[in-house]
Chain A
């Protein structure tokens, strides 16, 4: 079962995309959602507070989603945090690269609320 109380960090450089993700997550039932506009902002937040899940875009200025993922996995305080990629970067090598870097699951934009929900469930089933 999904823990609807968990704290989620949404990372995307587009404010509209962050809002769409927040709305979908709210419809699924999550209430504690924070946001960051790139990998750097996300890392700063992750190091300050505890988050249960990171939902990140790939292509962002300053620090990409992939670099964020690598930074999370390289940080002993953060490396247990699940990361879900939600991205338009959907070439095979992107997916493989993300998997190798330790992604927990991968959603291709555009996506439906149903797919997002299913993927989040899988992230926590596999943990």
Chain B
């Protein structure tokens, strides 16, 4: 539960680095942070999109933030991380040089980007915070990649990225300006951290930043009103995962139990065959029939044991129902959150739009696998 005393205006941020620069993002936007593993390259993607990763069966595009911000990264090191952020109902991965810390700062310490920031479209900056004499730029990924909105599809993502590809001076478009703006803001931030506060002022931009600051302020206020709800909903998640772990264990044990019985029954089948063949060869009829009776009685017992063993379904079924109700509770609270934020316009995003180059992203069956195998010369 959040602390309800004097620190009720607290922001939690994930701090990370790209090149020499320090950035942060609101923790609530972050789904998970993964180590760098293999990224599947896809032909014809712009430089910003590195490719895709397979996150437990879901294909997620990975954006090179350094490239997007126009700063040079450290390259792939052991510290390289992919931050998975929610993006209009989808997920995208953001490649960063390292994830440094979780920052807990008071809302007041989030400063407006100074007016010295010039000719910069800085909508994607929530603000700047000071942390041990360093400045950290707090980014809003949703806005940073706003060009992919409002109804983003993966196709759009790729297309809009393509539009940012370099063009000649006379052909500059909005995306270019954004891209330039990002370059500039980084430049200014760098200058600031080096103590150079004498950059030119762009009045229009300052107005935009003011608007942004107001928006952020309002958002944070709204967030605080719903935070107790989120917190109490997320409290239930550990309970759900504990139940799920128990189910995994129970089903594993039960399955082994049933398989053990089946293995015995299969052995008995071989024994039955052996005795029947013995009769065929003129063996001792009374003795062999006695054996057959014994084995079939044994098999019947095994089959009944299997039926009893399957009663684990009842136990796991009850546990799963508990989990479903926990999830429904969480869902209810998230819907409340969405309503509070007025994010209705973002609903109705098409799901499962196949990624460019992936004509069939759905599960396929053995027959289709065989067709593919054949295409590759397998008999």
Name A's B-contacting residues (CB within 8 A): 14-16, 19-20, 23, 27, 59, 89-93, 95-96, 99, 105-108, 111, 115, 122, 125-126
Contacts and interface: CB of A to CB of B under 8 A. Distances in A.
Chain B's interface size range is 20 to 34
Looking at A23, A93, A122, which has the most chain B CB atoms within 10 Å of its CB?
A93
B364 A92 contact: yes
B255 interface: yes
Contacts of A90: 363-365, 369
Contacts of B256: 15-16, 19
B354 to A, nearest CB: 10
B379 A16 contact: no
A23 B259 contact: yes
A111 B372 contact: no
Interface string B351-379: 00000001111111110110011001011
Interface of B: 57, 252, 255-256, 259, 262-263, 266, 358-366, 368-369, 372-373, 376, 378-379
A93 B358 contact: yes
Contacts of A106: 369, 373
Nearest to B251: A16
A33 to B, nearest CB: 13
A122 B378 CA distance: 9
A20 B372 contact: no
Contact of B252 (A16, A108, A126): A16
A43 to B, nearest CB: 17
A20 B255 CA distance: 10
B312 to A, nearest CB: 13
B366 A108 contact: yes
A89 B361 CA distance: 11
Contact of B363 (A16, A23, A91, A126): A91
Contacts of A19: 256, 259
